């Protein structure tokens, strides 16, 4: 038993509860939040290091052994995602200190952020399909509060749509779990995999796969189920957008990845082909949206959809190289999306608008902001040697090697179009004639720039250090490619 597993869940949970009692003392909330988030990073790093050297770690809650009790499982993939989540949460909190505003801070902003992290880290760590639903609900309830906190008209309007969609998807999730349990008689994810392999009825398994794809597709925003995302993610302030864009959709992507490699690998001719078609359409839809809008928030939001498609195309190809590329790209995209949303938040704080047609010449007064955005944009598009290149290259190469030419070509072309969409912001917003903005002197740009600059530096180091981190990422992909490793570690068989 490894007790470290539970700390990235337990620490933010306790922190959130404690912070409720300091609702009106903002400085205490900030200090407790920052210290707690830093401790979670340290613990998450220790856990990832332990998994890399000693293999998959498990913890049987209440000492009920798997598959009878609730098991937390930390393989290389989940430990890396928990570590990345912890870093992004810390960056968003530091950014929030000077941007979110006292009105939100006094109405439980920091406790709710920590509860959100409980849900995200729990979803990445649980080895029980029903508790995946529970952690999803913790994450979603927190996101409802963060979305509506502030009470602006657009937030209230979009929160209604966001809640309705997620209530429906949660109901479908319960139905899918119940249907799955009726077939296999267990909720432990490793045991489900064993039972499904023994079931023999591929028709029922295929129906289950499609049902779970709909559930997680709604949460992960794949085509055509992404319709709720652009408006909902547009409404909240920058640090909340960063948390949503970097983490929430990625929990859906992770769930598809986990279930389609651990449960539904028996009829890949249908299920994974369907996933591949939807992934390609998701990329195309995201690119069209990113090119169609001149609102800088909408451009980056639609690039979330593009990344979801790229990752899931890698999963659908289902080779060791494509899975390695998908994991590489998943971690890269979580980091760089957070950085870009925080950078866009600074632009909006300076200019008071997100309309690209009303912004120009920012690089004259804010060269640090401009060049940080430029590097982040190149990383997003996968320009070598930055972080997006290695993962996308492996996905494309695996696509061509398995004769999935259309998908590989779409992924390749999406890099150019994503680059174009982001460079529109850089060229239009940072170059050209400088303008005077009403409240730009009130924006604490130097302080706000710290968090996205660190995340962008991480993207550079992640890209330059591809060879160094490859064994770690490869270990994460190996568990996906060979589900027996996960099953053996959990069930001790």
Q: What is the pLDDT of residues 293-334, one digit of tens each?
A: 999 999 999 999 999 999 999 999 989 999 999 999 999 999
Task: Give the three-class secondary structure for 263.
Answer: coil
Mean pLDDT is lowest, of 61-70, 73-82, 162-171, for: 61-70
Tell me which H or E stretch contains 475: helix 466-481
The pLDDT assigned to 205 comes to: 86
CA distance 468 to 179: 43
Count CB atoms within 10 A of the CB of residue 291.
Answer: 14
Residue 344, phi then psi, degrees to nearest 5: -65, -35
What average pLDDT does range 166-195 have in this prediction? 92
CA distance 73 to 344: 36
With a cut of 90, say whether residue 28 has pLDDT above it. Answer: yes
The pLDDT assigned to 2 comes to: 66
What average pLDDT does range 203-224 have in this prediction? 90
Closest CA to 428 of 296, 286, 234: 296
Q: What is the pLDDT of residues 42-75, one digit of tens each?
A: 999 999 999 999 999 999 887 788 788 889 999 9
Closest CA to 296 of 219, 224, 377: 377
- Give 244's DSSP letter: I
Longest dimension (CA), the chain: 69
pTM: 0.94
| pLDDT > 90: percent of the chain | 72
Closest CA to 59 of 128, 111, 13: 128
Q: What is the pLDDT of residues 105-133, one digit of tens each?
A: 888 999 999 999 999 999 999 999 999 99
What average pLDDT does range 134-155 have in this prediction? 90
The pLDDT assigned to 308 comes to: 96
Q: How far is CA 183 from CA 53, 202, 204, 256, 258, in A?
A: 36, 12, 8, 19, 19
Q: What is the pLDDT of residues 369-387, one digit of tens each?
A: 999 999 999 999 989 888 8
The pLDDT assigned to 1 comes to: 53
| pLDDT > 70: percent of the chain | 99
């Amino acid at each position: 038993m490894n007790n470290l597993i539970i700390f990235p869940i337990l620490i933010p949970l306790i922190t959130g509860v404690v912070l409720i009692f300091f609702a009106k003392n903002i400085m205490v909330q900030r200090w407790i939040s920052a210290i707690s988030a830093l401790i979670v990073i340290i613990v998450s790093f220790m856990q990832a290091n332990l998994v890399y050297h000693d293999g998959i770690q498990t913890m049987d809650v209440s000492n009920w052994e798997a598959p009878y009790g609730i098991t937390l499982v930390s393989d290389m993939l989940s430990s890396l995602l928990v570590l990345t989540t912890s870093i992004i949460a810390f960056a968003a909190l530091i950014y929030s200190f000077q941007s979110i505003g006292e009105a939100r801070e006094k109405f439980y902003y920091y406790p709710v952020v920590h509860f959100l992290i409980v849900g995200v880290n729990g979803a990445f760590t649980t080895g029980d399909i029903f508790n995946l639903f529970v952690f999803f609900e913790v994450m979603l309830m927190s996101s409802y509060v963060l979305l509506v906190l502030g009470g602006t008209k657009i937030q209230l309007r979009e929160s209604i749509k966001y809640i309705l969609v997620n209530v429906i998807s949660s109901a479908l999730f319960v139905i899918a779990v119940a249907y799955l349990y009726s077939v296999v008689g267990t909720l432990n994810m490793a045991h489900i995999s064993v039972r499904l392999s023994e079931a023999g009825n591929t028709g029922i398994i295929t129906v289950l796969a499609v049902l779970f794809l709909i559930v997680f597709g709604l949460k992960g925003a794949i085509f055509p189920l992404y319709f709720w995302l652009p408006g909902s993610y547009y409404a909240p302030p920058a640090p909340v957008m960063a948390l949503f864009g970097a983490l929430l959709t990625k929990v859906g992507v992770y769930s598809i990845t986990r279930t389609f490699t651990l449960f539904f690998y028996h009829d890949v001719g249908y299920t994974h082909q369907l996933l591949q078609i939807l992934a390609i359409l998701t990329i195309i839809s995201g690119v069209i949206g990113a090119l169609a809008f001149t609102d800088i928030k909408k451009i980056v939001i639609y690039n979330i959809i593009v990344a979801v498609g790229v990752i899931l195309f890698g999963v659908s190809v289902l080779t060791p190289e494509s899975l390695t590329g998908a994991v590489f790209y998943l971690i890269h995209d979580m980091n760089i999306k957070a950085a870009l949303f925080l950078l866009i938040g600074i632009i909006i704080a300076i200019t008071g608008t997100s309309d690209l047609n009303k912004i120009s010449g920012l690089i004259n007064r804010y060269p640090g902001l401009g060049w940080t955005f430029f590097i982040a944009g190149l990383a997003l598009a996968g320009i070598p040697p930055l972080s997006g290149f290695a993962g996308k290259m492996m996905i494309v190469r695996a696509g061509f090697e398995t004769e999935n030419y259309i998908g590989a070509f779409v992924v390749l072309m999406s890099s150019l179009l994503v680059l174009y969409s982001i460079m529109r912001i850089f060229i239009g917003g940072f170059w050209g004639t400088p303008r005077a903005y009403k409240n730009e002197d009130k924006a604490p740009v130097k302080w706000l720039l710290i968090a996205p600059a660190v995340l962008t530096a991480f993207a550079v180091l992640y890209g330059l250090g591809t060879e160094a981190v490859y064994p770690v990422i490869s270990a994460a992909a190996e568990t996906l490619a060979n589900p027996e490793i996960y099953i053996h570690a959990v069930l001790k068989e």
